[in-house]
Amino acid sequence: MDRRDLANLAGKVLSLSEAPQTEVIVSYARKELVRMAVNRIVHGPVDIEKVSVSVRVRDGAKMGYASTEVLTDKALAEMVDMAYFVMKNSPPIDVTWDLPGADASIEVDETDAGDIWNEDTKREIVSTLFDKAESLGVEGHGTVVTDTMKVLVANSEGLMSYAGGTTGSAKLMLRKDRKEVQDILAFTSGYTPDFHASIEKLASNISKMDKLGELPPGDYNVVLGPQAVMELLSTMTYFSFTADAASKGMSYVYAQKGKKLLPDYITVMDNVNDTRFSSLPFDFEGIKRRPVYFVMRGTMGTVVNNLYFAKKLGEQPTGHALPFDGYFSPGAYPLNIVMSGGEKTSEEIMKDLDEYIYIEGFHYVNAFLDPFNVRATGLTRYGTYRMKGTEVVEVYDNARFLQSFWEALKNVKAVSSDTYLLPHPYFAGGGFIVPYLYIENFHIGA
């Protein structure tokens, strides 16, 4: 399905609507997946295609939306009728806004990671993981995925924007009994990870896990690996970086905008312009995405919004609207998080440290008890080690932590210069670009 097909569907929906304002999203998604377990392919290759159409209609302060994955004329007409029904029977919205017009349309060439993400690369990843697992007498698990996404946004004011792209990702795991190590890799037209080095690192880590100790509760100096930093920022995103959180008084960033609260070397932003991403240049309302600083050199910035929240908060639109019928509707969400790197490599940082705890990743993170400070609890996962320099002293079972992530950022003493792209868990083409972090006084224990 190409741009013309998506545009034809959007045109049909617009012609069916008699509402004063109508918006349409047509999206095409194709996922090619291979799932691995116990050193063999257990699922796939699977090739799944999906086309979805969403419509939002508005008359004054009354608004309704509906969606369908059935593309017949009858189904599209029924979708529009359902949106009308919702509009008529819903309470009026508290603010209204203007839709972007034809002059705001954006159309870009589709991006493709085909030069680096192809059948040969995927086969080599699978065979290299299996060979390494069998040589160590452990189990190889994971997934290898190709995501193709095309999006067209149109409205009754004449806007029609289109973009698309193909990306790859691999989740690689080695497991022995209940001990496991994992790495997640993203492949885009602007980023190529070294999967051989990743698998060698997994092999080195799983070989250290013969005997696991228990990490006593206490405050520790820690180094967080990229997966742990991604989980930290992902949790902070929901509670601190969105206009929805700001409107509820929950956002640490928005409540303290302009205050210098963190070290100079902490910068976190949403940056669609980073060429390592393969991302949409516009959001699902057709607004051009623009970079947004949440923290700039330690100073609190602002949050991302959509048209609704921009009007409600008296801000300029940032271009971060999600689909109308998404879980966060009528929400806005950052999908291209970047944490800037520092001056030393992760190896140089760790080599200079006397004793610390290295944490590869977090799991089951929850911060609902104190969302403002993002006081989070969860488990360490995929490797927790007591280290001296770059040498492992002791290996621990998964340990529970209880720590404000904002306090953790205040206690960051070093940020690595090497940064890594990890795929977004919910949005192909989004992701997290993250360094290693050295943090003092991180609390392990309930």
pLDDT 10s digits, 363-416 = 999 999 899 999 999 999 999 999 999 999 999 999 999 999 999 999 999 999
Give the mean model confidence (pLDDT) for residues 244-267. Answer: 97
3-206 CATH fold: PmbA/TldD fold (3.30.2290)
Query: What tens digit of pLDDT does each residue of 50-101 get?
Result: 999 999 999 999 999 999 999 999 999 999 999 999 999 999 999 999 999 9
- Would you state the pLDDT for residue 150? 96
Give the mean model confidence (pLDDT) for residues 146-157. Answer: 97
Which ranges in the chain are annotated with CATH 3.30.2290.10? 3-206
Please give, one letter per residue, the 3-state secondary structure of the chain: CCHHHHHHHHHHHHHHCCCCEEEEEEEEEEEEEEEEECCEEEEEEEEEEEEEEEEEEEECCEEEEEEECCCCHHHHHHHHHHHHHHHHHCCCCCCCCCCCCHHHCCECCCEECCCCCCHHHHHHHHHHHHHHHHHHCCEEEEEEEEEEEEEEEEECCCCEEEEEEEEEEEEEEEEECCEEEEEEEEEECCECCCHHHHHHHHHHHHCCCCCCECCCCEEEEEEECHHHHHHHHHHHHHHHCEHHHHHCCCCHHHHCCCCECCCCCCCEEECCCCCCCCCCCECCCCCECCCEEEEECCEECCCECCHHHHHHHCCCCCCCECCCCCCCCCCECCCEEEECCCCECHHHHHHCCCCEEEEEEEEEEECCCCCCCCEEEEEEEEEEEEEECCEEEEEECCCEEEEEHHHHHHCEEEEECCCEEEECCCCECEEEEECCEEEEEEEECC
- Would you state the pLDDT for residue 97? 95
Task: Tell me the percentage of the chain whose pLDDT exceeds 70.
Answer: 99
- Would you state the pLDDT for residue 330? 52
In angstroms, the Cα distances linking 97 to 56, 153, 181, 288 are 13, 17, 48, 16
243 pLDDT higher than 80: yes
Query: What tens digit of pLDDT does each residue of 288-310 get?
Result: 999 999 999 999 999 999 999 99
327 pLDDT higher than 80: no
